[in-house]
């Protein structure tokens, strides 16, 4: 448990959410009444017509914690911008709680009361760095918290994806594509494609084929020091490389996508009211706690 009392909080939000401007104004006032200095990210600042918005790098340097209001997509975007800054991120879900946004809207004040007092837990989450090699050109295209996906886009032909691990040839996958995910992303697209659920406390890399032509192609879990090189061999117009479901890049036959653990993890603030196991039960419909089982107590 951290004991640092929080006096500076940054706020970012999904500006498309209904009544988000009202929620941000209310939260800003509530925090300031508690003696907390508030920094609004530029986009949400414009949404509420506030004159003093902060760029992402400024937000990261000045805030002691960043609160996101939205859903898991908002958290993914925030993680991408704050990667490397080690600023704890608290996710507030504007609907039902998510895998990443663990705190519900009706819990926001009680949760932040604990944060302000320094009574909270954080968990380090690994990210992946993604590099694309096209001929002699090597480009860093970004980092992800959830997953890297290579798929055929809107084409109907199979992709051929040659995979090397730490310089050694593994196999060539034929099918719709591949998902490379972190444990955090194991409950996202990878889960829908038949991948394993991996508790996010460990640094591991999951390689999961999408609709493989060969049925013996199964998900593989690598240690965090694995360097993956995935080369596309395709006779048609190429494939799509997608980062966290939010950014896409076109790749061509012969291009290589290299994925490895990022040196810059992020820190997520854990819900004081529910464990990761409870989140899984709720999201996956596994049923209620058995008699005598205990829920997480306030941090």
Active site residues: 72
Q: Which two tokens stand for residue 66?
A: 């960043």
Spatial distance between the Cα atoms of 229 and 63, rounded to a whole number of angstroms = 37
How many whole angstroms separate alpha carbon 153 and alpha carbon 141? 18
Q: In what order do the strands lie in the sheet with 168-175?
A: 137-144, 128-134, 256-261, 228-233, 159-165, 168-175
Helices 108-116, 20-33: crossing angle, 10 deg rounding? 30
Which string of DSSP letters, residue by residue, matches 154-189?
Answer: T--SPEEEEEEETTEEEEEEEESEEEEE-SGGGGTH
**Cβ-contact 266, 82 below 8 angstroms:** yes
How do beta strands 103-104 and 88-93 pair? Answer: parallel
Output DSSP code: residue 105: G
Candidates 22, 26, 56, 17; CA nearest to 39 is 56
Q: How far apart are CA 89 and CA 270, in angstroms?
A: 9
In what side-by-side order are the strands of the sheet with 147-151? Answer: 220-223, 204-210, 177-181, 147-151, 239-243, 247-251
Helix %, strand %, coil % for the chain, to 5?
Answer: 20, 35, 40
């Amino acid at each position: 448990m951290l004991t640092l009392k929080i006096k500076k909080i940054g706020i970012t939000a999904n500006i498309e959410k209904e009544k988000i401007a009202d929620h941000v104004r209310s939260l800003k006032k509530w925090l300031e009444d508690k003696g907390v200095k508030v920094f609004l990210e530029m986009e949400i600042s414009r949404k509420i017509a506030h004159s003093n918005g902060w760029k992402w790098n400024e937000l990261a340097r000045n805030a002691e914690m960043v609160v996101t209001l939205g859903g898991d997509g908002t958290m993914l975007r925030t993680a991408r911008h704050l990667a490397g800054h080690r600023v704890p991120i608290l996710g507030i879900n504007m609907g039902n709680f998510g895998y990443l946004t663990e705190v519900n809207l009706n819990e926001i004040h009680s949760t932040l009361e604990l944060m302000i007092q320094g009574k909270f837990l954080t968990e380090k989450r690994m990210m992946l760095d993604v590099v694309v090699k096209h001929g002699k050109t090597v480009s860093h295209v970004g980092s992800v918290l959830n997953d890297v996906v290579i798929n055929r886009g809107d084409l109907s032909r199979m992709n051929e994806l040659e995979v090397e691990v730490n310089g050694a040839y593994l196999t060539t996958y034929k099918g719709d594509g591949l998902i490379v995910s972190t444990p955090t992303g194991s409950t996202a697209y990878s889960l829908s494609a038949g991948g394993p659920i991996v508790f996010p406390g460990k640094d591991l890399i999951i390689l999961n084929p999408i609709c493989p032509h060969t049925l013996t192609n199964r998900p593989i879990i690598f240690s965090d020091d694995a360097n993956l090189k995935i080369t596309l061999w395709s006779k048609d117009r190429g494939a799509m490389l997608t980062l966290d479901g939010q950014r896409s890049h076109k790749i061509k036959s012969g291009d290589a996508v290299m994925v490895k653990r990022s040196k810059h993890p992020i820190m997520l603030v854990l819900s004081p009211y529910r464990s990761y196991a409870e989140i899984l039960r709720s999201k996956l419909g596994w049923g209620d706690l058995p008699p005598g089982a205990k829920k997480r107590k306030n941090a």
